Structure 1
Amino acid sequence: MDHLIEKTLSSKEIFKGRVIDLYVEEVELPNGKTSTREIVKHPGAVAVIAITPEDKILMVEQFRKPLGRTLVEIPAGKLEKGEQPDATARRELEEETGYTCKDLQPLISFYTSPGFADELVHLFIAENLEKLEIAADLDEDEFLDVMEVTLDEAQEMIQTKQIFDAKTAFAVQYLQLKKHFE
């Protein structure tokens, strides 16, 4: 594998934002030539498959500015500095849906776009949900609608492109496979 490594020759921060930082790096390729890489640095995120006692999936619909449209997604959010993924998962579940859970289990972690970003998403499943008496506050710039959908409805939403992001499509496929093997 060492024969595939790109050696960093220089790195320059181009942008430092609230959510991401952007770097341009000059690298030496395995063949000795040089190239430029544009890299997005992200603190990481969580996503939660939340299953209600009625066996429905909690989803949120929100506007996604880069796409210019709304998407239906599983609850998710970025890690805060020093925050453990399970704590972020509970916080995001509570903030975005108004539910908490008795059982929260990690499933898998995956990179979203390793060709240009280092964002690592930690996927959890939350069961034995309980409605909060006092809902947690959303982030001040966050607006969303909470939905409860069946697995069949979620699969249909993938077909109609209401669900059109990788983490949510992955979650729905995970539940479909889980159901198949039970």
Structure 2
Amino acid sequence: MKKFEEKTIQTEQIYNGKVIHLQVDEVTLPNGKTSKREIIKHQGAVAVIPITQDNKIVFVEQYRKPLEKSIVEIPAGKLEPGEIPEVTAIRELEEETGYTTNELKFVTSFYTSPGFADEIMHIYMSDKLKPMEKKAALDDDEFIEILELTLDEAEKYMKENRIHDAKTNYAILYLKTLEMM
């Protein structure tokens, strides 16, 4: 038995969407009592920390409806079924920034919100960017602006809450640790 395991008694599918699936599980707790867990299932996502030749980080600014505001983020996107994260990373880099690369370095993976979702985020980095001759097309419902910022500028954006999501904050702190080594 896994430590503190909650055994599923029953699962009720609530919603199956394009990005997420919502289910409610009835579970038996370690003390024998029962409880309900609302769970979001997600196929996973990938983000890239793109660094230009002049040592700037490439970001995208886009409107995030759940937040009702625009924020500045590193390029990212969801994994397609059966797709390996490196393929997603390059696709999202090309679609969102107009850069490509032949060299990705795996940085880390983490669960974004383990209290209610199983989404795993894979982070890659590349400082070997090449501008694409012909920019890849964005998804039909994507509207973004590209920004290239120094690490100091990115930290300023964090303080101003213009950069305000976990993956991008992680990326900046990660680059800051590399700077200190």
Question: Which TM-score band applies after superposition, normalised by the shorter structure?
Answer: over 0.9
Q: Distance in 2 between matches of 1:160 and 1:119?
A: 27
Q: Distance in 2 between matches of 1:3 and 1:107?
A: 29
Report the equivalent of 1:120.
120
Q: Distance in 2 between matches of 1:3 and 1:20?
A: 28
Q: Distance in 2 between matches of 1:175 and 1:75?
A: 15
Contact kept in structure 2, 1:102 and 1:127, CA below 8 Å: no
Distance 1:5 1:156, change over 3 A: same
Report the equivalent of 1:158.
158
Report the equivalent of 1:100.
100
Distance 1:39 1:25, change over 3 A: same
User: Superposed, which structure 2 residues align to 1:22-61 within 5 Å?
Assistant: 22-61=22-61
Q: TM-score, normalization: structure 2?
A: 0.98
Q: Distance in 1 between matches of 2:56 and 2:103?
A: 16
Q: Distance in 2 between matches of 1:2 and 1:100?
A: 43
Letter in 2 for 1:167: K
User: Superposed, which structure 2 residues align to 1:68-83 within 5 Å?
Assistant: 68-83=68-83
SS at 2:128 equivalent:
strand
Per-residue displacement from partner, 1:68-116 (whole Å, max 9, x unpaired)?
Answer: 0000000000000111000000000000000001311111100000000
Q: Give the CA deviation at 1:3.
A: 4.0
Q: Distance in 1 between matches of 2:9 and 2:178?
A: 46
Return structure 1 stretches of 4+ with deviation > 2 angstroms.
none
Cα RMSD between the aligned structures?
A: 0.8
Residue correspondences, number: 181
Q: Distance in 1 between matches of 2:19 and 2:2?
A: 32
